[in-house]
Structure 1
Amino acid sequence: MPTTTAAYLTGLAATNDDAGDQPAIKRLHRSDTETVVRIAFREGQVMREHMAAHPILVLGQTGAIDFTVDGSTYRLEPGSAIRVGARVKHALHAISEGTVTLVVIHGT
């Protein structure tokens, strides 16, 4: 899919209305350079340690989500973000109901 000159994205702060035990994950955009994903948590939900094949940027949208990488934990809240390199293990834990935006950087 070729890059366009603009992509307007909405719904970045939507809540998790799914009935399951896992965070609600929804891809909002994909281009040849990046993928944008909304991850919505209910309080206490966890994404166990995992890694991404590409560098990522995770932005706090709502609530408080603890992001653990390299033995350190960072609190993602509105106005904060963390960048993680490719193939670096990390985990997320929802301290409160909240949403983060994940940007996977897979192109140049």
Structure 2
Amino acid sequence: MTTNNLYDNLEYNADKPAISVLLQTAFSKEIRILLKKGQLMKEHKAPKPIVVEVFEGEIDFGVDGQTHALKKGDLLTLDSNVPHDLFAKENSIVRLTLSIQDTVERVEKVVE
């Protein structure tokens, strides 16, 4: 068994979203993304389906030219290879579930 806490060691970066791995299982990687108000994760694609959950704050989630306002508690799934972006309307904590076949390095490159 492995445990972690989404709210431990919350350290927002001043210039870009903060990415950290919470857990890795046999089938997924659980990632925490901390976005300060005004930060953007530019448009990108995931090679496998993903799950996104907003734990704190509010983000605009762009998909196929449409913006979806997501708030605390909202949860979504997205198929592979769908272009999307995130913009923080408030300081936000986002949990991202990746396939075990996906890489954290890919996510980190999005915020460079």
Which TM-score band applies after superposition, normalised by the shorter structure?
A: 0.7 to 0.9
Q: Classify 1:14/1:67 alpha carbon distance in 2 versus 1 (closer, same or farther; 3 Å).
A: farther
Alignment match, 2:48 = 54
In structure 2, list runs of 5 or more residues that go unmatched.
Answer: 102-112
Larger Rg: 1
In structure 1, list runs of 5 or more residues that go unmatched.
Answer: 1-5
TM-score in terms of structure 2 length: 0.80
Aligned length: 101
Is the 1:16–1:42 contact (alpha carbons within 8 Å) kept by the matching residues of 2?
Answer: no
Q: Classify 1:83/1:58 alpha carbon distance in 2 versus 1 (closer, same or farther; 3 Å).
A: same
1:67-78 pair list within 5 angstroms? 67-78=61-72
**Which runs of structure 1 show a deviation greater than 6 angstroms over 4 or more consecutive aligned residues?**
none
Percent identical: 33
- What's the RMSD between the two structures over aligned residues? 1.9
Query: Which stretch of structure 1 is more off in the superposition, 38-47 or 65-74?
Result: 65-74
* Equivalent residue in structure 2 for 1:105, among 91, 95, 99: 99
TM-score in terms of structure 1 length: 0.82
2 CA distance for matches of 1:83 and 1:13? Answer: 25
Is the helix fraction higher in 1 or 2?
2
